[in-house]
Amino acid sequence: MQSSSNDNDNADVLVLQHLNEDGPGYLGQWLDEQGLRWQVLCTEAGDAYPASVAGFKGLAVLGGAWSANDDRPSLRQAEALIREADALGIPVIGHCLGGQLMARAFGGRVETLTQPEIGWLPIRHNGSETARAWFGDAAEATVYQWHHDSFVELPPGAELLAGSPACAHQAFALRQHLAMQFHIEITPQKISDWMAHPGATYPTLVLRHPDTVQGPQVIADRTERHQNGSETLARRIYETWRSRWTR
């Protein structure tokens, strides 16, 4: 039910995509399974983000290799749309870069961490009512990570929900919104695409940060082990996001 049209009159969800290789993944699959109509706009593919999100029920912002602090007009427009969605009561969900843009949009701060995280790594939520609403009762989950930056300072009023040893801020909630540092939308195909072109620094990062950056074979083995659990958690997260839609 994906649409590439710039007419949002018939779409339930707007998905903002930054780079060609970081598409909706499991989020798109879930939206289709729910029979929802959704529109994805990709900056790198030449799509312009809209002037407004009015008329949508939900806004999803994807990840990408850029820094949220980069001087790019599309990133600032994404932040403006996040703020407008908040004003209109439209729930926003952010994945990695998308979560970082949410932090910036609402007054937080994004910086580069001491250690990057790449691969299947554990996060732990804090057991709060909000955390359990989004993530379920199980406190620990293994999720897919690919980031060096993170939202190191949360926006005013935000509630920290989860962290990891290398990244204290893995997820926060603010009103009806959820920002995540990890890639809950991951699929084996996305991993395969990323590992085909992991970037020039990746081999060095594997050697320099063995605790938090996994090599290709480890990632492949753990994808087989953890993908189903990731999708189960994703369904929980996306269903909670949808439950906050107001129309």
* Cα–Cα distance list, 246 to 28, 37, 85, 143, 160 (Å): 21, 16, 12, 29, 24
Mean pLDDT (the chain, rounded): 95
Q: Is the pTM of this model over 0.75?
A: yes
Is 79:71 a contact under the CB 8 Å cutoff?
no
Question: CA-to-CA distance for 89 and 61, rounded, in angstroms?
Answer: 16
* Mean pLDDT, range 85-101, rounded to an integer: 98
* Residue-level pLDDT at 9: 58
- Report the length, in residues, of the chain: 247
Phi and psi, residue 24, nearest 5°: -65, -25
* Mean pLDDT, range 26-52, rounded to an integer: 97
Question: CA-to-CA distance for 179 and 190, rounded, in angstroms?
Answer: 20
What pLDDT digit, counting tens, does each position of 210-226 carry? 999 999 999 999 999 99
pLDDT over 80 (residue 108): yes
* Location of structure tokens 């999100």: 53
What pLDDT digit, counting tens, does each position of 1-14 carry? 554 434 455 899 99
